[in-house]
Chains A and B, each alone.
Chain A
Amino acid sequence: MNLTTKPSLHGLLAEFESADSVLAAARSAYADGYRKMEAYSPFPVEGLDEAVGLHHSRLPLIVLMGGIAGGLTGFGMECFAAMYHYPINVGGRPLFSWPAFIPVTFELTVLFAAISAVLGMLALNGLPKPYHPLFNVERFVLHGHDRFFLCIEATDPKFDGEETKKFLERLLPKGVYEVEP
């Protein structure tokens, strides 16, 4: 009843004091059926990405596509320039001298792959993000210092203000905070 009068939540944030406890918490939340959650830690914690359900990212595929597109662009550009647009006889070599095209093909493969990695990463994680509701919780700044956080987001189908709060409290966190949107 209480929930209807309050503005809806972004989610519930639990604070932990060690990497092991946030890892265990994420695993039990995932086992309990929660899917829309995110963990925050001051340094990379091995296994945490898999514990919150980030098994596969589409980024590798985007980078591969970018690389292939770059390779084709480089090779195609060289072929077009050397064979049709400005054909020149260089030391009696055939116009289609593919060994000479490889360095540019290689460079453009790397360039396109790198650019698609950066842009793909930004597109997939939604950066840059000037406002994020998590910073409404004052203690959240500690995620850059020595605290570990697990946030179960309100968009999760299993999310229920009271139930989820009880669930998180059973994981023995330092505290559970409501995140204003």
Chain B
Amino acid sequence: MNGNDSLSRQLNRVERGALVAGLLCAAVCAVAGWFDTTQFFRSYLVAYLFWIGLPLGCLVIVMIHHLAGGRWGFGVRRLLEAGTRTLLLMAVLFVPLLFGLQSLYVWARPEAVAASEMLRHKQPYLNVPFFIVRAAIYFAVWLGLAWRLDRAAADQDRAPSLDVTRRLTALGGGGLVAYGLTMSFAAFDWAMSLEPEWFSTVYGVLLMTGQVLGGFALVIIVAAALAKQKPLADAVSAQQFHDLGNFMFTFVIFWAYISFAQYLIIWAGNLPEENSWYLRRFEGGWSGVGIFLMVFHFFAPFFLLLSRDIKRRPGRLAAVAVGVLAVCVVDLFWIVKPAFDRSRFSVHWMDVVALLGIGGLWVAAFVGQLKGRSLVPVHDARVEEEFQWT
């Protein structure tokens, strides 16, 4: 019991610290936003896209585990589920964006639409009421999935039941399809439509890859921090970290694959309406960010994660995961920001504060959810089958 007391004290400390920092940064952002509304919404959008990626990434990983099983996931499933329960907070934090649609998106300004033939043609899809309806649908699907998964997992904690396990498997399969569709369109709506003249069908997959990668990085960091103490120390061993490290490795490669596939196709076609997106990201210092991403979003983690020693040592693996999370922010920044600052690369101080503000609130919510349940699943019908050879 002593160990658990010190654990919950630590969690309380992290929760309070994150909450204070988050509220402080959010307040600074709100005040600054009063004076510079445009910059506020730009910074807020990038920060929001990063932080909503974590709970959605967690949701995907939980569903993959329910569908496919495997020893890698039981020890960290409660951490992932705590992540999915923060989706409600992210749904609330989406609301401020609705007040900035005109400032963020060209297609939301009637005079710009009237002036552009192409925007007029896209108006049946790209208009404010439909945008809001679609966002409501995405959140309904995600919150519904998170709620159903959570309720079934709570049932499982109370009593072992094969029925619940079967229900979770079916939910995982259907949920992954639903996520793929909704998140793809959410990526088109929230980020790709910033440059409405441009389109790429793989854009949604690119953002989803970032989310799942972020989810794995997050769970590695949290598991490494908690694995020093019970109860997680018994559930997560070097083998589990090895598996999670391999997943992170896979998604680093998948990110590179998708990013390069999009680039190669546009480069080979070399059509003006497609290559404008990359041309904008090759000038005024943005190309440096692109090269940074090639090196630190792919080559560096790729070669580090080849090492079995790094993957089996929680501390080292968590250090790599922190780096991966940081580079995920840079990636979103590179994808979204050039749409606004057409001339050159720059970081506004509000970009950083918005990231910390939403981040503080999210971390506080996440830790709050972690405390609510037992940290390891107790009664999964598959657990015993999976652990019999360890």
B263: interface (CB < 8 Å): yes
Q: Please classify how large the interface on chain B is, using the bins under 10, 10 to 19, 20 to 34, 35 or more.
A: 10 to 19
Quote the shortest CB–CB distance from A21 to chain B (angstroms).
Answer: 15
Stretch at the interface among B86-94, B135-143, B264-272, B324-332: B264-272
Question: Are B308 and A60 interface neighbours, CB within 8 A?
Answer: yes
In this assembly, does B201 line the interface, its C-beta being within 8 Å of a C-beta of chain A?
no
- Majority DSSP secondary structure for residues of A touching B: helix
> Which residues of B have CB within 8 Å of A46?
389-390
- Nearest chain-A residue to B265 (Cβ)? A99
> In whole angstroms, how far apart are the Cα atoms of A99 and B265 in the complex?
10
The reply to whether B308 and A100 contact each other, CB–CB distance below 8 Å, is: no
Interface string of A57-82 (1 = CB under 8 A from B): 00010001000000000000000000
The answer for the CA separation of A40 and B390 in the assembled complex, in Å, is 18
Chain B contact residues, majority secondary structure = helix
B125 adjacent to chain A (CB < 8 Å): no
A-B Cβ contacts below 8 A, count: 18
- Rounded to whole angstroms, the CA-CA distance of A64 and B306 in the bound complex is 9
Contacts of A88 in B (CB 8 A): none
Q: Hey, which chain A residues are within 8 Å of B389, CB to CB?
A: 19, 45-46
Residues of A within 8 A of B306 (CB): 60, 64
Contacts of B268 in A (CB 8 A): 99-100
Residue ID in chain B nearest A63 by CB atoms: B306
User: How many A residues have CB within 8 A of the partner chain?
Assistant: 10
Question: Which interface residue of A60, A99, A103 has the most chain B CB atoms within 10 A?
Answer: A99
Which residues from chain A contact B267 at a C-beta distance below 8 Å? 99
Cα separation A64 to B264 with both chains bound (whole Å):
26
Nearest to A56 among chain B residues (CB) is B308
When the two chains form the complex, which single residue of A45, A91, A102 contacts B264, counting CB atoms closer than 8 Å? A102
A116 to B263 Cα, complex, angstroms: 31
B263 partner residues in chain A, CB cutoff 8 A: 99
CB distance from B104 to the nearest CB of A (A): 31
As a 0/1 sequence over residues 250 to 292 of chain B, the CB contacts with chain A under 8 angstroms (1 = contact) are 0000000000100110011010000000000000000000000
**A91 with B270, Cβ < 8 A, contacts A46-B390, A64-B306 known:** yes
Contacts of B308 in A (CB 8 A): 60
Convert B294-313 into 0s and 1s, putting 1 for each residue whose CB lies closer than 8 angstroms to a CB of A. 00000000000010100000
A99 to B308, CA, bound (A): 31
- State the CA gap A103–B389 with chains docked (Å): 41
Taking CB atoms, residues of chain B closer than 8 Å to A99 are 260, 263-264, 267-268
Alpha-carbon distance between A100 and B263 when the two chains are bound, in angstroms: 11
Chain A residues within 8 Å of B, Cβ to Cβ:
19, 45-46, 60, 64, 91, 99-100, 102-103
Provide 12 A-B residue pairs closer than 8 Å at the C-beta atoms, listed in order of the A residue. Answer: A19-B389, A45-B389, A46-B389, A60-B306, A64-B306, A91-B270, A99-B260, A99-B263, A99-B264, A99-B267, A102-B264, A103-B264
Pairs of residues from A and B, 3 with the lowest C-beta to C-beta distance, nearest first: A99-B267, A99-B264, A46-B389
- Known pairs A99-B263, A99-B268; list 8 more (Cβ under 8 Å): A46-B389, A60-B308, A91-B270, A99-B260, A99-B264, A99-B267, A100-B264, A102-B264
